[in-house]
């Protein structure tokens, strides 16, 4: 069953769905572009690993929600004023939770030349960790700078509305989603494919080794296939509001219209 949205489905951005969707999309995209690249090139699924906090928003030093004064029972022995010790009793330690380092593994794609294994193009599909302030963003930005300073092309796919987009200059409108294609021989110039939830995901050109050598990527087809094979139409509760960040009043009206039409079509199919 297809998504009610013409392009990217914002409900997939929920944490309960995104990690799985992201993993499926990486592999599906590799499988989709490989036939157009072989035998001159092949697509490798690579992994970036780093340590990060298990919970970046954790506040250290906040005690657990317990009544500390009831932890022990008061002795029934009566103490006379003469026996009383004026020295203050040391308070018991509070139980706290510390942010533990967790190994984060992020997948990305590399188009490599067959025979030499040279990295021709790096394809990144951003995750919340990449965009949110913290260790994940820092690690990704270092990798991004390294690619932009190399002879490899970069394709950066941002299908997340939340948090700050990656650094770029000359953007003249604010959109929900972005695909950046940076050819090594054109830097610092790059192509930006910007779109909203109201539009289909645009096709983009994947640069290869030789000048003017490209293959066209239909990312919308790949996303739609992952959505249907993952059964998200049956798993997402579209009765709930669109997940954060908030959407405009115009987008709210559009979402309501799309979901109403989608519900009627599915009801018709079930008859």
- Residue 4 in any domain: the answer is no
CA 176 – CA 162 distance, rounded (Å): 9
Tell me whether residue 207 is in a domain. Answer: yes
Model confidence over 99-131: pLDDT tens digits? 888 888 899 999 999 999 999 999 999 999 999
Domain presence at residue 68: no
Inside any domain, residue 88: no
Q: What is the model's pLDDT at position 238?
A: 95
Name the pairing type of β-strands 153-158 and 119-125: parallel
User: How many angstroms separate the CA atoms of 179 and 158, rounded?
Assistant: 6
**83 contact partners, CB below 8 Å, separation of at least 6:** none
Is residue 74 over pLDDT 50?
A: no
Can you tell me the distance from the alpha carbon of 10 to that of 214, in angstroms, rounded to the nearest whole number? 30
Helix (DSSP H) and strand (DSSP E) numbers for the chain? 6, 8
Write down the pTM of the prediction: 0.82
Does residue 83 sit within a domain?
no
Q: What is the pLDDT of residues 231-244, one digit of tens each?
A: 999 999 999 999 99
Q: Is the residue at 92 inside a domain?
A: no
Domain of 107?
Answer: 10-59+97-270
Q: Is residue 192 part of a domain?
A: yes
Which carries the bigger pLDDT value, residue 71 or residue 5? 5
In a domain, 81, yes or no: no
Number of domains in the chain: 1
Q: Which of 208, 102, 199, 119 is nearest to 159 (CA)?
A: 199
Give the side-chain half-sphere CA count within 13 A for 74.
6
């Amino acid at each position: 069953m297809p998504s009610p949205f013409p392009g990217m489905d914002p409900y997939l951005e929920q944490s309960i769905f995104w990690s799985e969707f992201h993993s499926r999309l990486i592999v599906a995209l590799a499988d989709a572009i490989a036939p157009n690249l072989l035998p001159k090139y092949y697509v490798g699924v690579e992994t970036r690993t780093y340590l990060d906090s298990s919970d970046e928003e954790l506040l250290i030093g906040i005690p657990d929600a317990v009544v500390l004064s009831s932890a022990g029972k008061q002795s029934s022995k009566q103490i006379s004023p003469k026996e009383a010790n004026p020295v203050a009793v040391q308070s018991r330690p509070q139980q706290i939770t510390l942010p533990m380092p967790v190994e984060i593994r992020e997948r990305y794609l590399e188009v490599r030349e067959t025979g030499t294994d040279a990295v021709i193009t790096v394809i990144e599909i951003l995750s919340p960790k990449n965009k949110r302030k913290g260790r994940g963003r820092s690690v990704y930005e270092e990798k991004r700078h390294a690619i932009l300073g190399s002879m490899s092309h970069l394709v950066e796919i941002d299908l997340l509305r939340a948090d700050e987009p990656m650094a770029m200059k000359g953007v003249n409108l604010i959109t929900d989603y972005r695909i950046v294609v940076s050819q090594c021989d054109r830097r610092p110039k790059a192509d930006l494919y910007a779109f909203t939830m109201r539009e289909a995901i645009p096709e983009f050109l994947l640069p290869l080794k030789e000048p003017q050598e490209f293959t066209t990527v239909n990312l919308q087809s790949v996303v739609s296939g992952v959505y249907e094979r993952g059964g998200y139409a049956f798993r997402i509760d579209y009765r709930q509001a669109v997940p954060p960040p908030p959407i405009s009043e115009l987008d709210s009206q559009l979402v309501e219209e799309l979901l109403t039409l989608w519900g009627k079509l599915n009801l018709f199919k079930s008859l």
